[in-house]
Amino acid sequence: MKIRQDLTAADLQPKIDRLWQLSADKIRLINREYDISKGSPVFTVQGKYTTRGWTEWTEGFRYGAEVLQYDATNEEEFLEGARQKTIAQMASHVGHFGVHDHGFNNVSTYGNLLRLMNEGRIEENAWERNFYEIALKISGSVQAKRWSNCKDGGYIYSFNGPHSLFVDTIRSVRALMVSHLLGHSLMGENDLKTSLLERGTLHSIATARYSVFYGEGRDSYDLWGRTAHESVFNTNDGNFRCPNSQQGFSGFTTWTRGLAWAMVGFPEQLESLSRFTDEELSTLGGREAIEAIYLKAARATCDFYIENTASDGIPYWDTGAPTLHKLSDYTERPSDPYNAYEPVDGSAAAIGAQGLLRLGKYLQDKGQTEEGQRYWQAGLTVLDSLFEEPYLSTDPTHQGLILHSVYHQPNGWDYIPEGQKVPCGESSMWGDYHAREVALYVHRLNQGLPYYSYLGAVK
């Protein structure tokens, strides 16, 4: 990608304001038209949200989006809608032992609502606070129960089973961190108490070690920042066996949405370190060592994104996609969602942009101004492209906010419009949510408001 040095966060505010106007209309449209009896909305087909998937991992994004909308615009209808729907619909997600997505579903809803109460945006109410807190406490411990040991630690295993570590979960591990900071832990047989900080940290370290590559010769395709969607372990002895992919092209290529989860997950965990004491971190390797692991993974994945993305900052769905070579020098040109060979993924851009910005700010705050500025400007470059056509959805009948999102290219789940060769023109619940989240991140910085972080759920 071609990083624009002329952009400032303030320059993006008009596009962000327009996004919130469109976002409000999209939320209202979904609320009017979507039939919740069909299950959680996942992605659009011909502009209408439909359900499709293997787990219920997107519902929290729908109601969390209403919290973000209220946060940005103070429109009470969205706050009340989020409150009511969280009460009515989210309880099953709190106690869902079958998924690795608690940080997506529950921190996006209960966590965002509690954050607003902590900020004084929701009137203090003991019962409401206790309701959000107990949900977040239980969610973190339920998530931590999905545990497999490996040779040098352990990991929260994916819905594929105990052998499977997904890179996605680095963004969902925040459920454990919030629960720990609220004073909770995982209780087991004979009242054995397990630290959620310990499990969350060990999982993050395992993700950095096995999901991210650093050009150190692990395999023939080892490049700085390449990520594997899935890492497979032998559960009998805890040994790592191989990289794999469920939604990317292969275990030896980089599925860009998985890359994006790592890009935002590691900077978030870097930000979280300040909330833990040296004593807490000492048994896990110590603050300095943990920070070095997270920072290496964050830098590597963000560098890989920059080097392997179209010039406007929007990536194609997999950097090893089988016909991507037919687009020739695709990194030297703006992305083309209507090309005949491989789809782009606007949702990966929405997620990855936040990672670039958070890493950039983290490094600048640490005094590494030049390096931090590079990532910061890269994040602004992505948003400048994403928050306008053809990626911003302006059609009043289309329920999606960010277009050209791809869910599962290998399974062929995504809609291909008539006359097109690859999926395009559709949205996803995670892409729309994360576009709103990164818009709120920049919006609050521009307005001098408290720094937006999932840690805001904890006083």
Q: What is the dihedral of CA 270, 276, 278, 281, to 10 degrees?
A: -70
DSSP code at position 275: G
Residue whose pair of structure tokens reads 């700010």 in the numeric block: 361
Q: What is the Cα Rg of the chain in Å?
A: 20
Number of CB atoms found within 10 A of residue 124's CB: 9
| Position 267 in a domain | yes
Show the CA angle centred on residue 310, arms to residues 305 and 312, nearest 5°. Answer: 100
pLDDT < 50 stretches in the chain: none
Sequence-separated contacts (24+) of 359-363 with Cβ below 8 Å: 359/263, 359/266, 359/267, 359/270, 359/298, 359/299, 359/302, 362/267, 362/270, 362/271, 362/298
> Within a domain: residue 1?
no
The pLDDT value recorded for residue 56 is 86
Q: Which domain holds residue 133?
A: 10-457
Tokens of 66: 């209403």
Supply the pLDDT for residue 52.
84
CA separation for the pair 395, 444 (Å, rounded): 27
Euclidean distance between CA atoms 357 and 364, whole angstroms: 10
User: Does residue 24 belong to any structural domain of this protein?
Assistant: yes
Q: Would you list the DSSP string of 42-82?
A: -EEETTEEE--SSS--SHHHHHHHHHHHHHHH--HHHHHHH
Decide: helix, strand or coil at residue 335: coil
What CATH number does the domain containing 202 carry? 1.50.10.10
Q: Which two tokens stand for residue 454?
A: 């999932």
In this structure, is residue 3 part of a structural domain?
Answer: no
Long-range contacts of 84-93 (CB under 8 A, 24+ apart): 86/110, 86/113, 87/131, 89/36, 89/59, 89/63, 90/59, 90/60, 90/63, 90/135, 91/135, 92/56, 93/56, 93/59, 93/60, 93/139
* Residue 40: CA count within 13 A, CB half-sphere: 21
H helix intervals, 96-148: 102-105, 112-118, 126-145
Give pLDDT, residue 1.
96
Specify if 365 maps to a domain: yes
Kindly state whether residue 5 falls inside one of the protein's structural domains. no
164 contacts 119 by C-beta, under 8 angstroms? no
User: What totals of helices (H) and strands (E) does the chain contain, helices first?
Assistant: 16, 11
The Cα 65–Cα 421 span in angstroms is 31
Predicted pLDDT of residue 218: 95
Q: How far apart are CA 389 and CA 147, in angstroms?
A: 43
Euclidean distance between CA atoms 299 and 320, whole angstroms: 21
Whether pTM exceeds 0.85: yes
> Is there a domain that residue 205 lies in?
yes
Number of Cβ atoms within 10 Å of the Cβ of 235 = 15
The answer to whether the CB of 375 falls within 8 A of the CB of 352 is: no
Q: Looking at the domain assignment, is residue 4 inside a domain? A: no
Total of domains in the chain: 1
* E strand or H helix that includes residue 186: strand 186-187
Contacting residues for 336 by C-beta, under 8 A, at least 6 apart:
310, 327, 344
- Write the CB contacts of 118 (distance below 8 Å, at least 6 apart in sequence): 456, 457, 458, 459
